[in-house]
Amino acid sequence: MSYHDPVMAICYDFDGTLAPGNMQEHDFFPDLNVAPKDFWEESNALAREQEADPILVYMKLMLDKARLSGKVRISKSAFREYGKTVKLFRGVKSWFDDINDYAAKKGVRLEHYIISSGIREMMEGSPISKHVKAIYASSFIYDQHDVAIWPANAVNYTTKTQYLFRINKGIESITDNVAINEFVAEEDRRIPFSRMLFIGDGSTDVPCMRLVKNQGGHAIAVYSGQREGSREHALRLLLDGRVNFIAEGVYTKNSKMFKYTSSIIDMVSASYKLYTLMKSAGKSQAECGPENLKEDRKDKFSGEAAFPQSP
């Protein structure tokens, strides 16, 4: 009996995971003539003052400052243009083809997803968007002139986990709140958590890391060698049992990231092969039928067959 190749999901944060820093810091903030440190301090202070969600606040502040500047465009197309200039970690551009090829040789089909608090439209403009099946991230509502007017979706550290369940059940639409809450038996779910890998870097990724790891999947914490305290933070996540591995943000074929991910793919491949063998064995026994099995046992273990009498 033949079985389809297993599907494995690799889910990534974006800022600090696939790219150093925050995506707005590359061109959007410079165009506003605003220092990143000043923007985030103002955003966090406003969130505390208003007891508001920090993601919603930073999104609103982006729009407010762009309007005040009178020159920075906040259209969907403009955000995608900003995404084209986002600097990625070393090896990211070739990572997807390289790891897909490795998985294919092992009989595993990979799907890539981004789950991020960053701006979806900017990620859609990045060079890696063509490699991912879906981008679950914060986004804006646009008016008839393609100008952002209000947050459409805000992805924070707790809402990130819902997208893992959507991937798990095969429900991609973020507006489908019925199917996502319907009961689906574990064996009927499209991608079991045991065939998921979550790669992230910050505290907003911890709930996803814990969920995937606790459900039998794996998690990798990324650190930047250029950012002070980054490796120490990743190491703390490892010591606290939040992740299985830590790796520098380098995605080349000889990197630790590739080594760890390919080893997880090896495990998924071996586990699925064992599963198919067990299913095939179970089917063969079922086809024999219980009566045939009883007769077979009787022949093998009857007194005359097991202990023939002496002549």
Tokens 């798990």 locate to: 168
pLDDT of residue 258: 98
- The whole-angstrom separation of Cα 192 and Cα 268 is 11
Tell me which DSSP letter residue 157 carries: T
- Considering the segment(s) 7-21+86-275 as one domain, its CATH architecture is 3-Layer(aba) Sandwich (3.40)
For 153, 208, 249, 265, the CA distances from 256, given in Å and listed in that order, are: 34, 21, 9, 14
Per-residue model confidence as pLDDT tens digits over 165-193: 999 999 988 888 787 888 888 888 999 99
Per-residue model confidence as pLDDT tens digits over 151-164: 999 999 889 999 99
- The whole-angstrom separation of Cα 5 and Cα 110 is 10
- The whole-angstrom separation of Cα 61 and Cα 43 is 7
Higher pLDDT, 215 or 305: 215
Least confident range of 73-77, 138-142, 218-222, 273-277: 273-277
Q: What is the mean pLDDT of the chain?
A: 89
Residues 62 and 24 sit within 8 Å (Cβ to Cβ)? yes
User: Structure tokens of 90?
Assistant: 């070393």
45 beta partners:
none
| 145 pLDDT more than 80 | yes
Per-residue model confidence as pLDDT tens digits over 284-301: 666 555 555 555 555 444
Q: Where are the domains of the chain?
A: 7-21+86-275
- The whole-angstrom separation of Cα 221 and Cα 292 is 54
- Among 15, 22, 27, 53, smallest CA distance to 151 is for 53
With vertex at residue 16, the alpha carbon angle to CA 48 and CA 245, rounded to the nearest 5 degrees, is: 115
Per-residue model confidence as pLDDT tens digits over 25-35: 999 999 999 99
- Among 17, 4, 147, smallest CA distance to 73 is for 147
| 72 pLDDT more than 90 | yes
Residues 190 and 7 sit within 8 Å (Cβ to Cβ)? yes
